[in-house]
């Protein structure tokens, strides 16, 4: 259980393909994971989501604790039955959400006290409580409780936050007692190489089933994001799945895969989809734009998702301009399928030993015909 098998490597980069085994099925890596914060990918049914080729989805401990509560989900038979998703599920610890509500919380060595944004009541989350919540939820992967300060934090403040993240991981490891659930630690440290190295080595020392890198794409510059992607893998074990949190652009996924990352998540496919924006290769099409009114082609003629095989840009434009819910669903569905296809294409290119950092399978090339 939770074995990670590396199945192929790329000679030109650190990229690899692998299989991560969980109690609810395997995840073929590299792979993009859709975000379903409240045990739902907004506007998309489980059957539709399955049609995109998604193999693991995310839900959020913080939000599920507030509504409907982990006890109710446990009574329902666990999060898989509750949301009708039989494949693997990862639950984020909620650490980022707590700290993004900075005006509402009080952080101590024991945990975080914050005001419930729903009703104003006071709630306290400790590492121990976060572990118990996730064990009740019954996800395949539980994330350790971490401290993710803003990217503008000074090195001293970031080091203080790192001490809490590391101390909390120790408490998470001591509390977590669910053999059919993997615990992943989270590397923090912001834009500071010394702190990132320190954190990567500390998290790795616990020999957990997998390791995540957090505090990325939280407002910092593209160069700073790339620095973290390039630097941190030097201090991570190669035999563990590496999860880069919050990344969903094609260029950053390509770079991260080239540096040996395996798993990715991002809210952008559905967030942009709900605003009428569709992914096409490395472009974003705003289907609200009048130029699509008489465009009867699909979003992407090479895409086999329900949206592209059944509906035109003109129809989607009509739905979006009239605030029809179906439009938001169809565009979000395509955006998820697009990122799944992209990571699948990367896998094929790695297996064929022709993957590069600037991987662009939609361009005319010798590898395009069998990877995208």
**Is the four-CA dihedral 112, 117, 118, 121 of positive or negative sign?**
positive
Query: Among the options 146, 262, 265, 300, which is catalytic?
Result: 265
pLDDT (0 to 100) of residue 136 = 98
| Phi, psi of 60, rounded to the nearest 5 degrees | -120, 125
- The mean pLDDT value for 292-308 works out to 97
Question: DSSP per residue over 299-330, as a string?
Answer: S-TT--SHHHHH--HHHHHHHHHTT-HHHHHH
Helical H runs in the chain?
Answer: 46-51, 61-66, 70-75, 79-83, 95-100, 127-137, 155-175, 193-204, 222-231, 250-258, 268-273, 306-310, 313-321, 325-351
Rounded Cα distance, 269 and 284, in Å: 10
Rounded Cα distance, 304 and 315, in Å: 17
User: Please, what's the b/e burial string for 330-352 (b: 16 or more CB within 10 A of its CB; e: otherwise)?
Assistant: bbbbbbbbbbbbbbbbbbbbbee
92 is an active site residue: yes
Query: Among the options 92, 140, 146, 262, which is catalytic?
Result: 92
Question: For the chain, which residues make up each domain, given as ranges?
Answer: 4-272
| Phi, psi of 193, rounded to the nearest 5 degrees | -55, -40
**Under CATH, what is the fold of the domain 4-272?**
TIM Barrel (3.20.20)
Task: Indicate whether 32 pLDDT > 50.
Answer: yes
Classify 76 as helix, strand or coil.
Answer: coil
Residues 6+ apart with CB under 8 A from 114: 98, 101, 104, 105, 106, 122, 123, 124, 125
Prediction pTM value: 0.95
Q: Could you tell me the CA-to-CA distances from 181 to 48, 87, 134, 219, 323 in Å, in that order? A: 26, 13, 9, 31, 41
Task: Indicate whether 138 pLDDT > 80.
Answer: yes
Q: Which long-range contacts (CB under 8 A, 24 or more apart) does 322-330 make?
A: 325/43, 327/276, 327/287, 328/43, 328/273, 328/274, 328/276, 329/43, 329/44, 329/48, 330/306
- The mean pLDDT value for 307-335 works out to 98
pLDDT (0 to 100) of residue 372 = 63
Q: For residue 11, name the pLDDT band (cuts at 50, 70, 90).
A: confident
Averaged confidence pLDDT in the chain: 94
Question: DSSP per residue over 325-345, as a string?
Answer: HHHHHHHHHHHHHHHHHHHHH
- Top pLDDT among 167 and 96 is at 167
- The mean pLDDT value for 48-73 works out to 96
Classify 273 as helix, strand or coil.
Answer: helix
pLDDT (0 to 100) of residue 351 = 95
| Phi, psi of 211, rounded to the nearest 5 degrees | -135, 135
- The mean pLDDT value for 88-117 works out to 82
Task: Indicate whether 61 pLDDT > 80.
Answer: yes
Q: Tell me the pLDDT tens digit for each residue of 245-294.
A: 999 999 999 999 999 999 999 999 999 999 999 999 989 999 999 999 99
Task: Indicate whether 36 pLDDT > 70.
Answer: yes
207 is an active site residue: no
pLDDT (0 to 100) of residue 364 = 55
Rounded Cα distance, 298 and 285, in Å: 12
pLDDT (0 to 100) of residue 57 = 98
β-strands 242-244, 210-213 pairing: parallel
Rounded Cα distance, 372 and 275, in Å: 26
pLDDT (0 to 100) of residue 123 = 86
**Burial class of 361 by CB neighbour count within 10 A (0 to 12, 13 to 18, 19+):** buried
pLDDT (0 to 100) of residue 366 = 44
End-to-end CA distance of the chain: 31
Q: How much is the CA Rg of the chain, to the nearest whole Å?
A: 20
- The mean pLDDT value for 227-234 works out to 97
Q: What crossing angle do the helices spanning 127-137 and 155-175 adopt, rounded to 10°?
A: 50
The three-point CA angle 86-370-245 to 5° equals 45
Q: For residue 346, name the pLDDT band (cuts at 50, 70, 90).
A: very high
Task: Indicate whether 367 pLDDT > 80.
Answer: no
Looking from the CA of 222 toward its CB, the CA atoms found within 13 Å total: 5
């Amino acid at each position: 259980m939770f074995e990670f098998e590396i199945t192929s490597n790329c000679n030109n980069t650190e990229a690899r393909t692998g299989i991560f085994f969980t109690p609810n099925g395997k995840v073929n890596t590299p792979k993009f994971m859709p975000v379903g914060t409240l045990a739902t990918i907004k506007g998309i049914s489980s059957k539709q989501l399955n049609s995109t080729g998604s193999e693991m989805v995310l839900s959020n401990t913080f939000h599920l604790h507030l509504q409907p509560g982990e006890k109710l989900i446990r009574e329902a038979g666990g999060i898989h039955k509750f949301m009708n998703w039989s494949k693997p599920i990862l639950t984020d610890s909620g650490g980022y959400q707590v700290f993004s509500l900075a005006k509402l919380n009080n952080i101590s060595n024991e945990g975080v006290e914050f005001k419930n944004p729903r009703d104003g009541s006071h709630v306290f989350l400790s590492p121990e409580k976060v572990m118990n919540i996730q064990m009740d939820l019954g996800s395949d992967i539980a994330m350790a409780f971490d401290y993710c300060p803003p990217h503008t934090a000074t090195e001293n403040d970031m080091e203080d936050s790192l001490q809490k993240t590391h101390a909390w991981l120790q408490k998470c490891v001591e509390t977590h007692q669910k053999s059919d659930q993997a615990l992943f630690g989270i590397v923090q440290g912001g834009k500071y190489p010394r702190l990132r190295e320190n954190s990567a080595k500390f998290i790795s020392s616990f020999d957990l089933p997998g390791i995540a890198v957090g505090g990325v794409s939280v407002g910092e510059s593209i160069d700073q994001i790339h620095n973290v992607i390039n630097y941190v893998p030097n201090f991570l074990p190669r035999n563990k799945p590496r999860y880069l949190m919050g990344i969903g652009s094609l260029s950053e996924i390509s770079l991260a895969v080239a540096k040996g990352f395996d798993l990715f998540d991002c809210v952008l496919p559905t967030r942009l989809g709900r605003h009428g924006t569709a992914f096409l290769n490395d472009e974003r099409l705003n289907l609200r734009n009048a130029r699509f009114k008489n465009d009867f082609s699909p979003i992407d003629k090479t895409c086999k998702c329900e949206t592209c095989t059944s509906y035109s840009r003109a129809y989607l434009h009509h739905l979006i301009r009239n605030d029809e819910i179906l439009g938001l669903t169809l565009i979000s569905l395509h955006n998820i399928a697009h990122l799944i296809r992209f990571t699948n294409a990367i896998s094929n290119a790695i297996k064929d030993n022709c993957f590069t950092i600037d991987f662009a399978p939609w361009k005319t090339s010798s590898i395009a015909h069998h990877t995208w």
